[in-house]
């Protein structure tokens, strides 16, 4: 999978030795830039814009998010709790399947509770009816695939996400205020338009009975070359044509190019090419590198081809983590520093998803979390993880 992010921005001038290693460093100024763009799209299009906590839930910046956006979307009870404790505005919760014991609290916390199937709505109707003012939605599967990788495509064959739109009937929408769909992943405007063009004929007859439509996430709105003017015009037209309130739920776009992951080379050896062992693990700290897979951009990577040269003569170095997984390999890089133990380096665009997916497999330590403001140069360590964090996950 090819990612189109990786702009170093102000990180090009950041001294990596100012933080410990490994460490996530998030630039508040970059967040403000992204949030400002999203708010501008929201205001000009006349829609509602929610931040997806599944992608970026660094709650220390929740007040900043609240200054720009209308609220957040969550993926279940724990994210809904986090939203209720730290974020302002609306809370929209969607989960592929709810537990009955969780649903009363989810309904109490959320403004919108979105179900994955009409069967769940029917099964939990009594619980929902006891909630005060909660709005019910249904996620549909448009049956229109736009994803590059099946693993990230909610419309891949036999997908479990969303009710197939070709099965939708009037009875399924009893008590339902809106429809939700999500088909994109790091994509431009054109796939959204194609999805809507394919979906509209299938849902047109249901629109008079709906209050809102939620177009989900995956919109790379804050990327410099995203077609924002076309998006705004499209959203204005959909709102006018349908009479529905329109929601977008960007996640990655909130934190795009707003964070780095700083690491250190621990050892270098030769096995047909230079092999660098680092304190950053793909499986523990950047699992999307293996799941997508993709090659994260490196801060200051030297130009040129990734050729393999004789031992000790430079060229590409294969970087991997300290875990026991043989495939814990990040990629081949032309390092901006000597391939020697103790040298610092950083991967770009790691604020979203990487931070929320970290694990302590093998007892590999979690990266600390830092907040930097490139405009004022203030730098604060928000969290360091200790052995106790690893121990207390177990029993």
Domain ends where: 255, 286, 304?
Answer: 255
pLDDT tens by residue, 332-391: 999 999 999 999 999 999 999 999 999 999 999 999 999 999 999 999 999 999 999 999
Q: How far apart are CA 32 and CA 142, in angstroms?
A: 33
Residues 6+ positions from 123 with CB-CB distance below 8 Å: none
Distance, CA of 316 to CA of 337 (rounded, Å): 12
Domain edge (last residue) among 194, 220, 255: 255
Residue 31 in any domain: the answer is no
What was the pLDDT predicted at 149?
84
Beta bridge partners of 320: 277, 329
Residues 183 and 153 in one domain: yes
Extended beta strands in 225-336, E state: 245-248, 259-270, 274-278, 317-320, 329-333
Global pTM value: 0.95
In sequence order, which residues have a C-beta less than 8 Å from that of residue 285 and are 6 or more positions away? 22, 261, 321, 354, 358, 364, 366, 367
CA dist 182 and 321 (Å) reads: 33
Sign for the CA dihedral angle at 296, 299, 301, 303 comes to positive
Identify the residue whose tokens are 């995203």: 226
Residues 6+ positions from 157 with CB-CB distance below 8 Å: none
d(CA 35, CA 255): 9
- Judge if 177 and 139 occupy the same domain: yes
- Tell me which residue range forms the domain holding 131: 46-255
Q: Do 82 and 57 touch, CB atoms closer than 8 A? A: yes
pLDDT in the model for residue 306? 52
* Same domain, yes or no: 250 and 226: yes
- Tokens coding 200: 């509209």
Q: What residue ranges of the chain have pLDDT lower than 50?
A: 312
- Domain termination site, one of 255, 282, 309: 255
């Amino acid at each position: 999978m090819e990612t189109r992010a990786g702009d170093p921005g102000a990180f090009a001038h950041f001294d990596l030795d100012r933080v410990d290693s490994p460490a996530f460093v998030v630039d508040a100024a970059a967040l403000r830039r992204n949030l400002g763009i999203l708010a501008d799209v929201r205001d000009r299009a006349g829609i509602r814009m929610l931040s997806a906590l599944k992608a970026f839930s660094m709650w220390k910046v929740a007040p900043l998010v609240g200054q720009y956006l209308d609220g957040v979307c969550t993926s279940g009870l724990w994210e809904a709790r986090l939203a209720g404790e730290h974020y302002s505005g609306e809370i929209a919760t969607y989960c592929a399947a709810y537990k009955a014991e969780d649903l009363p609290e989810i309904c109490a916390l959320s403004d919108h509770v979105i179900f994955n199937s009409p069967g769940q709505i029917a099964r939990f109707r009594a619980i929902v009816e006891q909630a005060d003012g909660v709005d019910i939605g249904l996620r549909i599967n448009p049956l229109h695939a736009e994803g590059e990788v099946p693993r990230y495509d909610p419309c891949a064959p036999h997908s479990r996400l969303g009710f197939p739109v070709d099965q939708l009937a009037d009875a399924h929408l009893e008590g339902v205020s809106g429809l939700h769909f999500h088909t994109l992943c790091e994509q431009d405007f054109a796939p959204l338009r194609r999805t809507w063009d394919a979906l509209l004929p299938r849902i047109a007859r249901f629109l008079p009975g709906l209050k809102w439509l939620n177009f989900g996430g995956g919109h790379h709105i804050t990327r410099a070359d995203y077609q924002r003017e076309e998006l705004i015009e499209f959203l204005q037209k959909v709102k006018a044509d349908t009479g529905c309130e329109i929601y977008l739920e960007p996640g990655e776009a909130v934190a795009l190019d707003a964070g780095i992951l700083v690491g250190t080379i621990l050892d270098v050896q030769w096995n047909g090419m230079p092999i660098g062992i680092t304190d950053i693990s793909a499986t523990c700290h950047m699992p999307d590198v293996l799941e997508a897979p993709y090659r994260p951009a490196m801060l200051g990577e030297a130009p040129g081809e990734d050729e393999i040269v004789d031992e000790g003569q430079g060229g590409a170095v294969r970087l991997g983590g300290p875990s026991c997984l043989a495939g814990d390999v990040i990629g081949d890089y032309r390092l901006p520093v000597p391939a020697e133990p103790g040298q610092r380096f950083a991967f770009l665009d790691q604020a979203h998803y990487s931070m929320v997916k970290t694990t302590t497999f093998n007892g590999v330590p979690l990266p600390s979390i830092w907040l930097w403001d490139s405009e004022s140069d203030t730098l604060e360590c928000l969290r360091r993880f200790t052995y106790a964090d690893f121990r207390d996950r177990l029993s």
